[in-house]
A and B are shown apart, each in its own frame.
Chain A
Amino acid sequence: MDPVLDIQRLSIRYAGAPAPAVRDVSFTLGRERLGIVGESGSGKSTVGRAIMRLLDTAEITADRMQFEEVDLLNAPERKMLDVRGKRMSMILQDPKFSLNPIQRCGHQIAEAYRTHVRCSKSEARARAIAMLEQVHIRDPERVYDLYPHEVSGGMGQRVMIAMMLLTDPDLVIADEPTSALDVTVRLQVLRILDGLVRDKGIGLIMISHDLNLVRAFCDRVLIMYAGRVVEALDARDLDNAQHPYSRGLLAAQPRIGGTREPLPVLARQDSWLEPLEAQA
């Protein structure tokens, strides 16, 4: 099967920044679920946004950056308008900020559909309501007419998921989709997302801080540190990670039934910046 996404040696530098925020990142993605983990500032969101081509002013270089037949490095913006929201979309972190506060939730979902499919208003509405049902919203007709400030965080994030999956994209990037949510609804929202992604055979990139979460919901994991991918491995092999940074991350995860010792703190080393092979 052809990969959905093929990225080779991607580097990104923000305008005016002295050093690149992302360096030589390579990976391919099929119709699978890929987790990207790493500490804050390691460049995870930057990679996601670069794939969506949302970084207008940043300087982006790569050997290859291919989404299906679209060359993301050179595609004109007009082409990207067709791709974005239709064939690839992105779930943002916090529904409190990522939904337009003065438009009704349903309208925002329907807009995603109407941007790419010619249809009547009522058809878009019906689609949106059906999608709200799929994300387990009990009273979709009512929620359709609510403003974002009138729905709870978990509901808001499900609205976001509905909006981004409505057009049946091939690739979805979820940038910390649950970290703004209450712990009690996190799993619920993730299960809904996971169910839809599996059913529709969508390629998913899940950005997260949380190793346990990535272990449970992803097939493969990239571990990023300071703008580089330091290790890539299957989720079930996560416990056997080789790179010292990955091992440090793992050790810093709390576990139920673990020891009561204080969690170890990362002691950074410059050598971590080298990829794994070079160190060996």
Chain B
Amino acid sequence: MRLDRRRLNGIAEQGVSIFVTLFGLLILTFVIGRIMPVDPVRAIVGEDATREVYENVYRQLGLDKPMWQQFLLYMRDVVTLDFGTSIRTGQPVLQDIARVLPATIELATFAILIGAGLGTPLGVIAAVNKDRWPDQLIRVISLMGHSMPIFWTGMIALLVFYANLGWVGGSGRMSQFYIGLVPERTNFLLIDSALAGEWEVFRSAINHIILPAALLGYSSSAYITRMTRSFMLDQLGQEYVTTARVKGLSRRQTVWRHAFGNIRVQLVTIVALAYGALLEGAVLIETVFAWPGFGQYLTSNLLIGDMNAVMTCVLIVGVIFIGLNILSDILYRVFDPRTR
């Protein structure tokens, strides 16, 4: 890449905008944290602490200081990656999250593979057959995926494929017997079990991940299909597609070799954004499948009002989202010869 002045300016501008968004994120989580009805001091010291202990902790938390000072303190904590301890687990929040996040990433990655693998070809087929029956069918299929309450579909799928048919494993990341069998190195179960050579565990893990990942993937494929279709329609109307046909390429070669190449860049962006949106579905699906991941950690802390943990989770989701946006931007530049 050439680093000319314009590019540098662009990067600087983007840097500023990322910084501002991050700052806004902090304000938002700070405000939400302050209006919480849960008394953070009570949550730490317990119901029957003496007044003295209470006051002590109150001051330790800096709650006696004015708001702006509290915000500065909060910023200092965030910058030094000190997010406090979770009341529920008694561990530093960051450590908790590092432990549960791999489970969610594993699930989301599996899901996005399914979602993109399904959604992209469906979108292309729909575009090529615009307004004919395959297009209509695909439209209904993808709108279904967009409309289903995923927690409900998860329950029904468990009922059918696990309880009745027994095709897949039930809830959790693996069978009960295998828990604790594999040394935790990366916390990605599929990787850990493969590293340890425990292929039984690996199979069990696949068996367990396939159903939630398929559902998440289906729901994100809805979005990917729609976008692929509209990108593809744009491209199919372009003159270079005519050129390709004039050269004597078949329909299929025209579509995949020429038109598809031109939507790749946009697709990467879309898939990155869909990956972020999966986190949302993960919150619900993890609850249904008792998946010990980030979503479950977030909801269980929500219900008991563990403020530190919740706000940190929200902040991290925001950071992941911004990160994905930046990533898709970078990929865009790398893949498109015109922006090189």
A residues with CB within 8 A of B: 52, 54, 81-86, 89-90, 92-94, 97-103, 108, 111-112, 115-116, 147, 149, 160, 163-164
Contacts and interface: CB of A to CB of B under 8 A. Distances in A.
25 contacts: A52-B245, A52-B246, A54-B245, A81-B248, A81-B249, A83-B248, A84-B246, A84-B247, A85-B247, A89-B247, A90-B246, A98-B243, A100-B240, A100-B243, A100-B244, A101-B338, A102-B262, A102-B337, A108-B243, A111-B247, A111-B249, A112-B247, A160-B243, A163-B243, A164-B246
B258 interface: yes
Contacts, number: 71
B48 interface: no
A116 B248 CA distance: 8
Nearest to A93: B239
Residue among B244, B245, B247, B248 with max Cβ neighbours from chain A (10 Å) = B247
A164 B262 CA distance: 22
Given A102-B262, A102-B336, A149-B338, A163 B242 contact: no
Interface in B249-296: 249-250, 258, 261-262
A162 B336 CA distance: 25
A268 B246 CA distance: 36
Contact of A81 (B250, B261, B338): B250
Nearest to B246: A90
Contact of B247 (A93, A94, A163): A163
A1 to B, nearest CB: 26
Nearest to A166: B247
Given A98-B239, A147-B338, A103 B261 contact: yes
Contacts of B247: 84-85, 89, 111-112, 115, 163
Interface in B290-323: none
A98 B248 contact: no
Given A102-B261, A147-B337, A89 B246 contact: yes
Does more than half of chain B's interface fall in helix, strand or loop, or is it mixed? helix
A116 B246 CA distance: 12
Interface string B224-253: 000000000000001110111111111000
A93 B250 CA distance: 22
B243 A54 contact: no
B282 to A, nearest CB: 34
Nearest to B251: A77
A177 to B, nearest CB: 13
A81 B337 CA distance: 30
A98 B245 contact: no
Contacts of A89: 246-247
Contacts of A82: 248
B240 A101 contact: yes
Given A84-B246, A115-B249, A94 B338 contact: no
A52 B243 CA distance: 11
A252 to B, nearest CB: 28
A54 to B, nearest CB: 6
B242 A92 contact: yes
Contacts of A52: 245-246
Nearest to B337: A147
A94 B243 CA distance: 11
A100 B262 contact: yes
A115 B26 CA distance: 57
Nearest to A99: B240
Contacts of A112: 247-248
B193 to A, nearest CB: 41
Interface string B9-47: 000000000000000000000000000000000000000
